Amino acid sequence: MNLIEQNLLALATKTEPSCCRIEKLPQSGSHRQYFRIFTTKKNIIGVYNQDVKENNAFFSFTRFFLTQKINVPKIILIDETQQYYLLEDLGDETLFSFLSSHRNQDIIEKNVVAYYRKVLQQLPLLQLSGKKGIDFSACYPRAAFDKQSMLWDLNYFKYYFLKLVNLPFDEQLLEDDFQTFISFLLEDDHDYFMFRDFQSRNIMLCNNEPFFIDYQGGRKGALQYDVASLLYDGKADLPPELREELLQFYLEQLATHISFDKQKFCKYYYGFVLIRILQALGTYGFRGYYEKKSHFLLSIPFAINNLKYLLPKFEFSAKIPTLTGVIQQMITSNFVVSCTLPENMLTVTIYSFSYKKGVPQDLTSNGGGFVFDCRALPNPGRLPEYKNATGKDKTVIDYLENFQEVTLFKELTTQLVSQAVENYLERKFSHLMVNFGCTGGQHRSVYFAEKLTAYLKKEYPKVNVVSAHLNA
């Protein structure tokens, strides 16, 4: 048992003398360390964080939220150094884990949507704390999501993503666009509490209710940012139509608390979606490339897909041409990142792509992998009734599965990949990349990528399987 565990157990015995053991919990992107302390009565969460200012922000916000009847964990005890503290144990189920186990690709079960609605009912209560006396002087590292904060996020994206992946851009023109973009975002009211990292992994599900954690980075900001963070949460990968439905639900809930201009809200909303995605890409690059926490790189394709959906909706993009051009490069090129998870876990990344835009690159040390050409198979894209569908739609699936050559292709590619997976597991390899390409990257390639993903997840539960559609 190390010193941190000893100190947390000693602190816990002041409230629960029957402590029997301590277990470290998986660490995420922060430097905070979390532990579960087991007692004969109830379990406790122990936290160690050397950053006292960050801890004090968490303590201050938690106390205020509890007075407002907002679902956050209760603080049990803080030690005199303020580096160790104990929290109520809310269990292990997050909104993200619940979502992951209650969906079939883009089909998300109703009970998941119900939880999202509960979250969005409570979000205005959190945000309106900014008008009800929350102590913004406790904020750390900055009191507001102001010009400086936004510039930090955009430069984070520039230095830890764009430069690391070698996308070309004119640095001065990009900086000019940053300034224009920030001035636009600051036009709207930003006197609310902004959670800052309001995403599905920071929402615990306990006793059928959502509870909020990890808000120590909160600060004064605009209403749009947090709802954008939740609905465009990368690996949650919510379907676009569900995002829009939940946005409308949030606006209805917000209207029960305050009067606001819905049209004005939406004018700035997609701008906050954009800055959130860019900040997230900077984080993925920093944590993945720089800190070598390679599982962060798995979120990059999801962020790219979100940008693809977002850009046509963002009317201000014409006024930031260099930034928009960089985003267009990311969307139209087959930029993907493949990576491995720690502890020699095998990761299989599966992509569908369009040959018009080039074969995806494998940026891992392994290199290579499979590239399957689907262009010799019947093409539903030539038929007008399938033009706007993809290989995930039942109509396209039914069409393709009428052809014997499609079934044979699926069987052969599955056999080849399965043979490689079993060999790689035996040899403790860390990564395998599989690409399915067709003319437009929309129908045949998507169909085979989806089928192989489902097969591998079922047959090899200890393998991490990640898939993305680069052009659908």
Q: What is the CA radius of gyration of the chain?
A: 24
Q: Residue 212: helix, strand or coil by DSSP? A: strand
- Closest by CA to 446, choosing from 381, 364, 362, is 381
Report pLDDT for 307. Answer: 93
Report pLDDT for 365. Answer: 56
Structure token pair of residue 309: 């959906």
Structure token pair of residue 284: 């993925």
Structure token pair of residue 421: 């997976």
Report pLDDT for 386. Answer: 92
Report pLDDT for 223. Answer: 97
DSSP state of 319: G
- Cα distances from 91 to residues 12, 203, 205, in angstroms, run 18, 11, 8
Report pLDDT for 1. Answer: 79
Separation of alpha carbons 285 and 281, rounded Å: 6
Q: Do 177 and 321 meet the contact criterion of CB atoms below 8 Å apart?
A: yes
* Consecutive 10-residue averages of pLDDT for the chain (472 residues): 92 89 82 92 94 97 95 97 97 92 84 98 93 92 95 94 86 96 96 95 96 96 97 91 97 96 95 96 82 70 89 91 94 56 70 86 70 96 91 93 96 95 87 92 95 92 82 72
Q: Among 3.10.350.10, 3.90.1200.10, 1.10.10.60, 3.40.30.10, name the CATH number for the domain at 95-332.
A: 3.90.1200.10
Comma-separated ranges of CATH 3.30.200 domains in the chain: 3-52+64-88
- Closest by CA to 305, choosing from 266, 340, 352, 359, is 352
> Which runs of consecutive H residues, i.e. helices, occur in 344-432?
394-400, 404-426
Comma-separated ranges of CATH 3.90.1200.10 domains in the chain: 95-332
Q: Residue 17: helix, strand or coil by DSSP? A: coil
Q: Do 472 and 391 meet the contact criterion of CB atoms below 8 Å apart?
A: yes
What kind and span of H or E run contains 446?
helix 444-459
- Closest by CA to 120, choosing from 206, 226, 262, 44, is 226
Separation of alpha carbons 415 and 405, rounded Å: 15
Report pLDDT for 402. Answer: 95
- Cα distances from 65 to residues 54, 59, 313, in angstroms, run 17, 10, 34
- Determine the CATH number of domain 3-52+64-88: 3.30.200
E strands along 75-129, which residues?
75-78, 84-88, 103-104, 107-108
Bin 368: left if φ > 0, else alpha if -120 < ψ < 50, else beta.
left
Neighbours of 277 (CB within 10 A): 22
Report pLDDT for 294. Answer: 60
Q: Do 211 and 71 meet the contact criterion of CB atoms below 8 Å apart?
A: yes
Q: Residue 293: helix, strand or coil by DSSP? A: coil
